[in-house]
Amino acid sequence: MAHKIEELLHIMARLRDPGKGCPWDLKQDWNSIAPYTIEEAYEVADAIEQGDFDELRSELGDLLFQVVFYARLGEEQGRFDFDGIVDAICEKMIRRHPHVFADSEYEDETALKAAWDAEKSRERQDRNQGSSALEGVALALPALVRADKLQKRAARVGFDWPDAGGAMDKLLEELEEVQQAVEEADAEALKDELGDLLFAAVNIARLLGVDAEQALRRGNSNFESRFHRMENLLRAEGHEDPASLSLKQLENAWERAKAMEKMET
């Protein structure tokens, strides 16, 4: 039997029932639930990257449950309920897609994106989020994602490199400043310069049409795969403990692992 959203809402209400509910669920509030929401979103992304669609179905359910949990908290406090959440997103999607739900037409995708950005800007002004082009970029976003969004907001007012070449030059400049901070043994300056270096790297990715967060996740995955391959090579050669080897030996095994990987692709 297929379950309906109404049943999930009923389950949530039972879990939060003051008399017969779950003690853990009853203790939760907006702030305590937020970290779980972020975790569930990452698990959805991980299932997609793994191509595991059975797991994706499960993780999407967990993420939906987070929305239902917030809806219940909102209803208990007289702020909003699940129907209100659905109404809000339906109205927003219809408003932001006049080319689908109304008679608006746009010449190309660029014009469509400009209209989308203008509508989002108007919405921010309606919410009194301030006059800055950078207002409303959530602090809780992963740093790479937030850097990308800040750069895109700045680009809307013309504060941007014309192409990735300028951003690459900036990256080299920031790298020199990192080196200077290292030579001067200035720990605080080093933190600032490394932050600027990473920000510049995100800029390059953005201008080249690459999602920096996904690129780094891919880099992490590649490193993990190659490292496991290196460990297997060393074990096959009788080296059970990589820590007992010199850096030169480890680098040699690493390069052989990379070469094997290239041969398989």
Strand segments, DSSP code E, in the chain are: none
Please indicate, yes or no, if residue 177 is contained in any of the structural domains. no
CATH number at residue 25: 1.10.287.1080
Backbone angles phi and psi of 142, in degrees to 5? -55, 145
pLDDT of residue 66: 98
Please indicate, yes or no, if residue 196 is contained in any of the structural domains. no
pLDDT of residue 55: 97
Please indicate, yes or no, if residue 205 is contained in any of the structural domains. no
117 and 92 fall within a common domain:
no
The token pair that represents 4 in the structure block: 């309906």
Q: Which amino acid is at 128?
A: N
Q: Identify the CA nearest to 228 among candidates 202, 197, 195, 261.
A: 261
Place of tokens 């793994």: 50
**Domain residues for 116?**
103-131
What are the DSSP calls for 25-43, one per residue? HHH--HHHHHHHHHHHHHH
- Count CA within 13 A, CB hemisphere, residue 110: 1
92 and 107 fall within a common domain:
no
pTM given for the model: 0.69
Total domains in the chain come to 3
Please indicate, yes or no, if residue 152 is contained in any of the structural domains. no
116 and 69 fall within a common domain:
no
37 and 119 fall within a common domain:
no
Residue 165: other Cβ atoms inside 10 A: 11
pLDDT beneath 50: ranges in the chain: none
The token pair that represents 189 in the structure block: 């300056």
Query: What pLDDT, in 10s, does the model give residues 183-241?
Result: 999 999 999 999 999 999 999 999 999 999 989 988 998 999 999 999 999 999 999 99
- Say how far residue 76 (Cα) sits from the centre of its chain: 30
Helix (H) or strand (E) holding 58: helix 53-76
d(CA 173, CA 182): 15
pLDDT of residue 128: 60
d(CA 224, CA 239): 19
Q: Identify the CA nearest to 156 among candidates 171, 174, 136, 128.
A: 136
